[in-house]
Structure 1
Amino acid sequence: MVLKPHVAINVKELDASIEFYRYLFGEEPAKVRPGYAKFDLDEPALNFTLNEGGEIAGGINHLGIQVGSTEAVIAAKERLKNAGLASFDEMDTTCCYARQDKIWVTSPDGHRWEVFFVKEDADSFGQSPTIPEAGSACCTPKQA
């Protein structure tokens, strides 16, 4: 049996969100129906669905994709940049008790995503080097 996490989020505009996640994941959706889209990813193993409508705000701090190298972080940054999506870099930062290289990008609905590589464990929680007040939110920048 394969275990694959499932995350379903509400979005305001399905087409805009499909476009954003197509570039974030580097893949096409596996299914698109009226008011619904599904990305069935192998890497990371994730069943990720978009549901148009409903409450957007919630208790999510941020979402992330852990990758295997700094080069993979940079490749994600380039993919997002080429799609015209702005990203925010935090290279060689300490966050959530780990030294990491990461980028941040925000979906059309305000969901903050990080693409990150963990270099090593750290003894401190850390905080954003460029946005110190974000440290209490696991280093998430207020605007990515």
Structure 2
Amino acid sequence: MKRLHIHISVDDLDKSRAFYTALFGTEPTKEKADYLQWLIDDPAINFAISTGKSKRGLNHLGLQFDGDEAVAETEARLIAAGIAGEKQSGAQCCYAASNKYWVQDPQEVIWENYHTMEQIEVFGGDAFTGGVGCCQPTFSENGKWSTGGGC
């Protein structure tokens, strides 16, 4: 199964929780002090909101897969199409440990293609994102992926 993943950075978690709970008709499936997530089957979506980011609004989009093989297939399709990305193994981000393949679309929207192996108790931040947070690497103007300030 694939789920569309949408992550939005918000100012007020409580107000946003009320809005999205009303919109989706259900309470969040994961709740942390700075992060909420709704896993919904119809439509198949993994919708997350979090605070503490300098930029508000769309943080990134993605596809959540049930296994690493599906992530690798997506990576292979993107590479075959000439779309460069960045592999991230064992990421500890958004209260989950995941393997990921990041790409950026022509409008500079960052896409996270990933498989989550387990839930963890920390929001995250590793060398890939400069240790300052998680959710996405940055894509510099020279066309190279860089670390630091991803979220």
- TM-score of the superposition, structure 1-length normalised? 0.56
Question: Is the Cα–Cα contact under 8 Å of residues 93 and 101 in structure 1 kept in the other structure?
Answer: yes
1:104 Cα deviation (Å)? 0.4
Instruction: Give 1:107's aligned amino acid.
Output: D
Counterparts of 1:106 and 1:134, CA distance in 2: 20
Partner of 1:86: 84
Relative to structure 1, the CA distance from residue 103 to residue 128 in structure 2 (aligned partners, 3 Å threshold; closer, same or farther) is: farther
The answer to whether residue 130 in structure 2 is matched with residue 132 in structure 1 is yes
How far did 1:123 drift? 1.3
Alignment of 1:12-31 (within 5 A): none
- Deviation string for 1:81-134 (max 9, x for gaps)? 000000111111101010000110000000000011010001111114223155
* Counterpart AA for 1:96: C
Partner of residue 66 from structure 1, selected from 60, 64, 74: 64
Q: Could you tell me the percent identity over the aligned residues?
A: 37
Match of 1:141 among 137, 142, 147: 137
Structure 2 unmatched ranges of 5 or more = 7-42, 46-55, 140-144, 146-151
Q: Structure 1 counterpart of 2:80, which letter?
A: N
What is the CA deviation profile of residues 19-45 of structure 1, one whole-angstrom value per residue up to 9, with x for unaligned ones? xxxxxxxxxxxxxxxxxxxxxxxxx85
Distance in 1 (CA, whole Å) between partners of 2:44 and 2:81 is 23
Q: How does 1:116-131 map to 2 (within 5 A)?
A: 116-131=114-129
Displacement of 1:141:
0.4
CA RMSD of aligned residues (A): 2.5
Q: Amino acid of the residue matched to residue 129 of structure 2?
A: I
Structure 1 stretches of 4+ with a deviation exceeding 2 A read 128-131
Which letter does structure 2 place at the counterpart of 1:74? A
